[in-house]
Structure 1
């Protein structure tokens, strides 16, 4: 197996390459169109066939980013059923080589947010980096976000590794146990407490995406 992290130092955004080296198949999680040359070089270097392009969330309302990612030549999977994408539902299994990857519906940061579970880790995009997304530093649906986290991700095994789409305080990976104990917007708070804090993050005018 091969696991590779791409980090944009300017925005803090994270992308991930997972590959079954024996089958020569790979998936990309949250890739960005600006990184196409690097992504293609990684695939070519390992002689990998890209099986899926997976997006936990997105902010490209005009579809420009989708058009760039389409050049990778693999189905684009995201949660909102936009044109030229493949919609995935909670519990769906996407395979690359002999490796299954399970789709988790985790709305909240945006309405169509997905997370992707693979082996002992979950790629959860902006789910827990609540105010760290450079395009939308507040949840679109706070009530759904609370449920996705407390009734979904926090019920996974405590040792599950959580990989974010955006670094937060120089960290990109944590565990379910850490987040349950110390997350500043979830740990030890009631639902009403969380909703009050989430409301304080929301700007008075819409944030450009």
Structure 2
């Protein structure tokens, strides 16, 4: 199975990508609205097709990207049926099986943090994605969205702690840089529910917590009850001057094919060195040539009247050129994917 653990620093949220190596069918668990560009780029680079965008619960600290991912990829949205969220294609119940290619996840109902919390476990019981029900050395709070400490204790001890001791636990959040635990570790060391804690111990601990109201709850919960569908005026801005897409490293790119068909609409900036342009085969007509090492000192000489697309041999140096231009205030700028190597394949 292809597996990636992704992180949103603003909300300390983990997003998980799982995919079938043989078919490329993929699942994203707990995607974040502001990180949809990153997630789409990773899917593209790994040549994966998203089948499901899954949420472990109705989040109070961030807005899900499920709806946006559905618009971009045609995937299905899955979350707990009890949540009764709009736009959901798969209202999930305990025991449901989600197949993607030759892989699958089993749904486990683990309420208590909220009444609609789910965990997703691999069918070989080697990994469980526990959302906020069970965190590393902690658990989700129980003081809003129909949360209940007794219910959460039962979810953890009767569902998650009955998985194999070596089963890896991947939580929905971590605020201290921890990435993974195991059932055995949490049974032994979890500060709230481990070490043989009784239900009374756990409920007493949770009742004594005095946590501030989540800052985004009044915005996040209503948005997540719509699966993250934004109002029309709140859609994330996208470049309109070209079919720009972004790499996983965050670089905006356009294809050589698009540039060839739209040369009159853009400025081509070639950042190769002079010795690379000695052959007529390598030099393009109607391009501006500024070697990368000299670009920072010459950005003011470039016109802002037309978008700029940057070129080098392979597309690596020109990606840095895009970064330099963006820092200089150019907004309509992109890298030519594949550089002159790809250009020469097509011409």
Give the TM-score taking structure 2 as reference length: 0.55
Deviation at 1:129, TM superposition (A): 2.6
Once residues 138 and 164 of structure 2 are traced to their aligned partners in structure 1, the CA distance between those partners, rounded to angstroms, is 25
Which secondary structure state, in structure 2, belongs to the residue aligned with residue 166 of structure 1? coil
- Counterpart in 2 of 1:195? 203
Of residues 83, 93, 99, the one that matches 2:86 is: 83
Aligned pairs for 1:23-62 within 5 A: 23-59=23-59
Indicate the residue corresponding to 1:116 in structure 2.
120
Contact kept in structure 1, 2:60 and 2:214, CA below 8 Å: no
Distance, in Å, in 2 between the alignment partners of 1:166 and 1:60 is 12
Give the CA deviation at 1:158. Answer: 0.3
Matched, 1:99 2:103: yes
Match of 2:177 among 147, 156, 170: 170
How many pairs are equivalent?
Answer: 204
Structure with higher strand content: 1
Contact kept? 1:132, 1:168, Cα under 8 Å: no
Superposition deviation, residue 60 in structure 1: 5.9
Does residue 187 of structure 2 align to residue 184 of structure 1? no
Gaps of at least 5 residues in structure 2 are 218-347
* Distance in structure 1 (CA, Å) of the matches to 2:138 and 2:161: 20
Change (3 A) 1:30 1:171: same
User: For 1:172, what is the secondary structure of its paired residue?
Assistant: coil
CA apart distance, 1:17: 0.4
Larger Rg: 2
Unaligned regions of 5+ residues in structure 1, if any? none
The answer as to whether partners of 2:26 and 2:100 remain within 8 angstroms in 1 is yes
Q: What CA distance in whole angstroms lies between the structure 1 residues aligned with 2:190 and 2:117?
A: 20
SS at match of 2:174: strand
Given the superposition, is the C-alpha separation of residues 117 and 24 from structure 1 closer, same or farther in structure 2, using an over 3 Å criterion? same
Distance in structure 2 (CA, Å) of the matches to 1:146 and 1:48:
37
Offset of 1:130 from its aligned partner?
8.7
C-alpha contact (below 8 Å) 2:127/2:167 kept by paired residues: yes
1:138/1:131 CA distance change after superposition, 3 Å: farther
The structure showing larger relative contact order (alpha-carbon pairs under 8 Å, at least 6 residues apart) is: 1
Of 2-11 and 83-92, more deviation after overlay is shown by: 2-11
Q: Aligned in 2, Cα 1:75/1:170: closer, same or farther, shift over 3 Å?
A: same
Indicate the SS of the match to 2:56.
coil
- Is the CA contact (8 Å cut-off) linking 1:109 and 1:126 kept in structure 2? yes
Conserved? CA contact 1:131–1:201, under 8 Å: no
